[in-house]
Structure 1
Amino acid sequence: MAADFRKTGSTDNQMSRVVSVIAWIACLAGIILILFDIGNLSDRNIYLMTGIGCVVAGIFIFLTGKAFVIARKKEDQENGRS
């Protein structure tokens, strides 16, 4: 199969770095949006609501990326490719 020919260490590290960078960008964009109009703390403040969504999405992206890396390493260990 095609999965047998992949290099596990380098692709896992590269994927982890890329996902972490995307997550940090989402979190920073969210923080910037929150700080853009922090004076108006209401549910009608589109910058605040979008900023909170970006921060939550960034955390979710980070955790999901780490979970995929852990799952791939566990799969490799079970298949004897450690």
Structure 2
Amino acid sequence: MALNFRKSGSRDNQMSRTVSVISLIACIVGIILILLDIGNLTDRNIYLMTGIGAFAAGIFIFLIGKSFVIARKKEDQENGHR
């Protein structure tokens, strides 16, 4: 049982790191797109609109990824694993 928990924990950590990297990349891409043409603050500015979307998506990806890890750890605790 403990061996299975450790494997599960390492998978959770790997998933958490992967999701964090993906969300960080999305946020950085969003910031770069926003900064490319920030002088034109209209809804027709494709760089600005895409950048805002990518930045918001990065934050959303981060929060969803962390909530899955927390839910998985809580499920393991309820099943009697550490």
TM-score above 0.5: yes
Q: CA RMSD in A?
A: 1.4
The separation in 2 between residues aligned to 1:23 and 1:5, in whole angstroms, is 26
Per-residue deviation, residues 41-60 of structure 1 (Å, max 9, x unmatched): 00000000000000000000
State the Cα distance separating 1:69 from its structure 2 match.
0.1
Identical aligned residues as a percent = 78
Match of 1:26 in 2: 26
Report the equivalent of 2:47: 47
SS at match of 1:50: helix
Structure 1 match to 2:35? 35
Cα offset, 1:5, TM superposition: 8.0
- 1:23-69, Cα deviation, whole Å (9 max, x unpaired): 00000000000000011000000000000000000000000000000
* Contact persistence 2:5–2:81 (CA under 8 A): no
Please, what TM-score do these two structures have when normalized by structure 2? 0.92
TM-score normalised per structure 1: 0.92
Which stretches of structure 1, 4 residues or more, deviate above 6 A after TM superposition? none
User: Cα offset for 1:14?
Assistant: 0.4
How many pairs align?
79
